[in-house]
Amino acid sequence: MMDVALAKTDTGRAASEAFAVACSRLPGAGKVAAARQKAFEAYESLGLPHRRVEDWKYTDLRVLMREVLPLAAAPDQAALAKAGEILKAQSLGDAYRFVLVDGVFVPQLSDVGGLEDGLRARSFHEVLGTGTDQSADLFTTSATTDVMVSLNAAMTTDGVIIEVGDRISLTKPIHVVHVTTVSSASAFTRSRLTIGKAARVTLIESFVAADDAKSYQAHDALIVAVGDGADVAHIRLMADADDATNISSAIVTVGGEAKLNLFSLTSGGRLSRYQVFATLEGEGSDVFFNGVSLLKDTQHADMTLVVDHAVPHCTSREVFRAVVDDRAHSVFQGKIIVRPDAQKTDGKMMTRALLLSDGAEADSKPELEIFADDVTCGHGATIGALDDSLLFYLRARGLSEKEAQALLIQAFVGEAIESIADDGLRDVAIGAAERWLAARE
């Protein structure tokens, strides 16, 4: 029988070359190398997800992204200088800041010293360099088999590992900043946040870029473990360059009697997908997810949430708002899973999209998978335009059409933004929304 070798596509060759480069830039001996190789094989067997994959049917990466770009080089002094200038414009108040530039953790721009008791931070690269068996665990997760999470595990070059001890209430937020300074390149980062029992933590994530950074790809994964009785607020602000791609995943486990409040605002990027896989592992936990997408031009933004109720007596709420202008496309996929033993579950989700033009598009797919009989669950979705009667009312009181629209849009997204408990951070989110509104023609 003749041996037949399958020829790789250009996309496959690009990914293989990027993987080879990633291996050369990270410690990769023993179990670490094996974990990376296994992750890449999982990706390579399927390739970029496409519309025939149910979880990706609205975000076909083979069409929208097409290929994996070469890895960005480690930042030089010019790149670090650019990043420093960008950070000066980040007005999020006093916080412990950890900075990743072009996919590399930069200690000189980060708060690596003077951390309060109970808070520890190290680079992903440093942890791998220890050569311990536990370092291989950074590449694996049982929460999802998503192919892009596998690709991220294979190609990650750096990230930040943060640990908060038991019963620690941090006096300042933790701020992880992703800065891109290069064009036509990709960065793969993976970080882990471990929060001890009864701890109180606020985590902020920001994605920003230099003015001359164009057509890049940001691939990120964040693994969060919330301890029993902990109280965690997580705010994510994605303002990448207008022609950038951002594929990010959050893999979260929540302990008993814990509270997690996650807010995400997407206003940048040409193509983005933010996917959250949350597993409620301890009884009595409360989880809230609030998201806003502000889209214009030809932007495509996908918000995908999977909440797995694995134990009884837990509550989850999902509220998502999308404002879509021009020929932009918003996608929301929300799934609540209730396992057979998860009695007394209370899970609800609501998604609403506001279309501002005839060319705008929104797809919503809320789902429930319920295997228990004593639960309270529900979902809803609406898609529509601005209310003409309300516009007329505001115009009749002296507002211009643009001012009237802005007021109604602010009210529309306000329910999600109000979920941010910290006044300063809530003002930051409101400011981002106001800047987007002001930029509308």
Q: What is the pLDDT of residues 79-125, one digit of tens each?
A: 999 999 999 887 677 899 999 999 999 999 999 888 999 999 999 98
Give the model confidence (pLDDT) of 417-441 as tens digits: 988 888 888 888 888 888 888 887 6
pLDDT category at 28 given cuts 50, 70, 90 is: low
Question: In the predicted model, is pLDDT for residue 5 greater than 60?
Answer: no
Residue type at 125 in one-letter notation: H
CA angle 59, 64, 70 (to 5 degrees): 120
pTM (two decimals): 0.93
Question: In the predicted model, is pLDDT for residue 300 greater than 70?
Answer: yes
The whole-angstrom separation of Cα 303 and Cα 331 is 6
Domain boundaries, given as residue ranges, for the chain: 71-386, 387-440
User: Is residue 246 within 8 Å of 275, Cβ to Cβ?
Assistant: no
Give the model confidence (pLDDT) of 348-376 as tens digits: 999 999 999 999 999 999 999 999 999 99
The whole-angstrom separation of Cα 367 and Cα 318 is 12
Number of C-beta neighbours around residue 299 at 10 A: 24
pLDDT category at 32 given cuts 50, 70, 90 is: confident
The structure tokens listed for 439 are 């930029």
Give the model confidence (pLDDT) of 68-78 as tens digits: 999 999 999 99
Q: What is the mean pLDDT of residues 307-323?
A: 96
- Among residues 315, 294, 314, the alpha carbon closest in space to that of 303 is found at 294
Find where tokens 């950038």 sit: 244
User: Is residue 335 within 8 Å of 306, Cβ to Cβ?
Assistant: yes
What's the length of the chain?
Answer: 441
Question: In the predicted model, is pLDDT for residue 270 greater than 60?
Answer: yes
The whole-angstrom separation of Cα 313 and Cα 375 is 9
The DSSP bridge partners found for residue 71 are: 186
Q: Which helix (H) or strand (E) holds 150?
A: helix 147-155
DSSP for 279-292, please give it: EE-STT-EEEEEEE
- Bridging pattern class, strands 286-295 and 259-266: parallel
Residue 411's contacts (CB-CB under 8 Å, 6 or more residues apart) are none
Find where tokens 């799934």 sit: 335
Phi, then psi, of 234 in degrees rounded to 5: -130, 115
Give the model confidence (pLDDT) of 120-169 as tens digits: 999 998 888 765 656 667 777 666 789 999 999 999 999 999 999 999 99
The structure tokens listed for 233 are 């607020």
Give the per-residue pLDDT at 319: 94
